[in-house]
Amino acid sequence: MSIQQNLNNIKSQLPANVTLVAVSKTKPVTDLMEAYNAGQRIFGENKIQEMADKWEQMPKDIQWHMIGHVQTNKVKYMAPFVSLVHGVDSFKLLKEINKQAAKNNRVIDCLLQVFIAEEETKFGLDEKELEEILISEEFKELKNIKIVGLMGMATFTDNQTQIEKEFKNLKSIFDNLQNQPTTQNLQPTTLSMGMSGDYKLAISCGSTMVRIGSSIFGGR
């Protein structure tokens, strides 16, 4: 099937409140343009340099999402254009995004990445760290970022019960976050969880944003 057919097929199955991020990392601009011409406007990349190169070459109505692990020293390269940073896993990184956003006269939307998996390799904050950031005075002073929700990655396993448990755990953390008073830089509406293999389960557990790559563009 073509990229366009894959895209239409997936979109037809997504509820209206769920946003599709087409994960286009390692894919050539020609593939991305095929998805663009089929109506896709949100693309997710995991390397800042590759994302910046594609941003320069492609139409400017695209929203670029940084979905990979972010190194603080690379933030400046995406600060002029990035729409949403999914993997904010430390306060240090959040401060750097705020600093670079200010230099570009922007407010950059961010998701805080919560560690929900039973793997040591995944990045993210635990609930206590998440809470400590959000109640700190220093966080309240960040004027050039906005926390619009949470992101999490389930354990890489075939055990659907475990994945479901992790997704539901993240959803309950997200619900707690939504019950907190919103501020200028905390307006949580987005729960980003679910990828090609588990996005249907993620949606059933309350995800509002799914990151799908191989099911659109084919395997790596």
Reported as a single tens digit per residue, the pLDDT across 163-211 is 999 999 999 999 999 999 899 999 999 999 999 999 999 999 999 999 9
Write down the pLDDT at residue 219.
75
Write down the pLDDT at residue 121.
66
Tens of pLDDT, residues 4-40: 999 999 999 999 999 999 999 999 999 999 999 999 9
Number of H helices, E strands in the chain: 10, 8
The answer to whether position 219 is within a domain reads no
Domain extent for 77:
3-214
Q: Any idea what DSSP says for residue 58?
A: S
Write down the pLDDT at residue 120.
72
The answer to whether position 41 is within a domain reads yes
Q: Any idea what DSSP says for residue 17?
A: T
Counting residues of the chain whose pLDDT is more than 70, the rounded percentage is 99
Task: Please give the structure tokens belonging to residue 118.
Answer: 């039973």
Residue 117 vs residues 45, 70, 91, 174, 208: alpha-carbon distances, Å = 21, 19, 20, 16, 19
- pTM for this structure? 0.95
The answer to whether position 118 is within a domain reads yes
First to last CA, the chain: 16
Q: Contact at 8 Å (CB) between 118 and 162? A: yes
The answer to whether position 220 is within a domain reads no
Exposure class string for 85-106: b at 16+ Cβ within 10 A, else e: bbbbbbbebbbbbbbbbbeeee
Write down the pLDDT at residue 220.
58
Task: Please give the structure tokens belonging to residue 51.
Answer: 């994302």
Q: Is 113 exposed, middle or buried (0-12, 13-18, 19+ CB in 10 A)?
A: buried
The answer to whether position 181 is within a domain reads yes
Decide the pairing of beta strands 42-45 and 186-195.
unpaired
Residue 103 confidence class, pLDDT cut points 50, 70, 90: very high
The answer to whether position 63 is within a domain reads yes
Domain count, the chain: 1
Q: Is the dihedral of CA 192, 109, 80, 122 positive or negative?
A: negative
Decide the pairing of beta strands 63-66 and 108-113.
unpaired
In the predicted structure, residue 96 carries a pLDDT above the cut 70: yes
| H-state helical runs in the chain | 3-13, 29-37, 48-57, 75-78, 91-103, 127-135, 137-140, 160-178, 199-204, 214-217
The answer to whether position 141 is within a domain reads yes
Q: What is the CATH number of the domain that holds 65?
A: 3.20.20.10
The answer to whether position 145 is within a domain reads yes
Counting residues of the chain whose pLDDT is more than 90, the rounded percentage is 92
Write down the pLDDT at residue 17.
96
Task: Please give the structure tokens belonging to residue 198.
Answer: 């588990």
